[in-house]
Copies of this chain bind each other. A is one copy, B any other.
Amino acid sequence: MIPQIVSAVGSVIGSEPIELHAPVLGAVEKQRLLEVLESGYVSSVGTEVRRFEEELAEYVGVKHAVATVNGTSALHAALLLAGVRPGDEVLLPALSFIATANAISYCGATPHFLDIEESSLGVDPAAMHDYLGSISRTSSGETCNRHTGRRIAAVVPVHTFGHMANVEGVVEVAGAHGLAVIEDSAEALGSHRSGKHAGTYGQLGVLSFNGNKIVTSGGGGALLTDDGVLADQARHLTATSRVAQGWEFIHDGIGFNYRMPGLNAALGSAQLTRIEDLVANKRRLYRAYAREFAERGVRGARLFKEPKGTRSNYWLQTILLDEADEVVRDELLDALNQAGWQARPAWKLLPEQPPYVACPSAPVPTAQAVVRRAINIPSGPGILV
**Could you list which residues of chain A lie within 8 angstroms of chain B, going by C-beta atoms?**
22-23, 25, 29-30, 33-34, 37-38, 40-45, 69-73, 98-99, 102, 105, 210-212, 216-219, 240-242, 246-257, 259-264, 267, 330, 333, 344-345, 347-348, 353-355
Contact = CB atoms under 8 A, between A and B. Distances in A.
Given A70-B257, A73-B257, A355-B253, A37 B30 contact: yes
A42 B23 contact: yes
Nearest to A259: B219
Listed residue (A34, A241, A261) with the most chain B CB atoms within 10 angstroms of its CB? A261
Nearest to A350: B251
A264 B261 contact: yes
Nearest to A348: B248
A102 to B, nearest CB: 6
Q: Which 6 A-B pairs have the closest CB atoms?
A: A43-B211, A218-B263, A218-B261, A219-B261, A72-B257, A42-B218
Contacts of A218: 42-43, 261-264
Nearest to A75: B257
A103 to B, nearest CB: 9
How many copies of this chain does the complex contain? 2
A240 B43 contact: no
A240 B103 CA distance: 11
Listed residue (A241, A246, A260, A263) with the most chain B CB atoms within 10 angstroms of its CB? A263
9 contacts: A22-B40, A25-B38, A30-B37, A42-B216, A43-B210, A102-B255, A102-B257, A247-B333, A252-B354
Contacts of A25: 37-38, 40, 42
A7 to B, nearest CB: 22
Given A73-B257, A99-B257, A211-B262, 5 more contacts: A29-B37, A102-B240, A102-B255, A217-B263, A249-B348
Nearest to A270: B37
Contacts of A45: 211-212
Contacts of A248: 345, 348
Contacts of A330: 246-247
A339 to B, nearest CB: 16
Nearest to A213: B43
A354 to B, nearest CB: 5
Contacts of A353: 250-251
Contacts of A210: 43
Contacts of A102: 240, 254-257
A62 B208 CA distance: 34
B249 A347 contact: yes
A99 B240 contact: yes
Contacts of A251: 98, 353-355
Given A33-B33, A247-B330, A330-B247, A216 B43 contact: yes
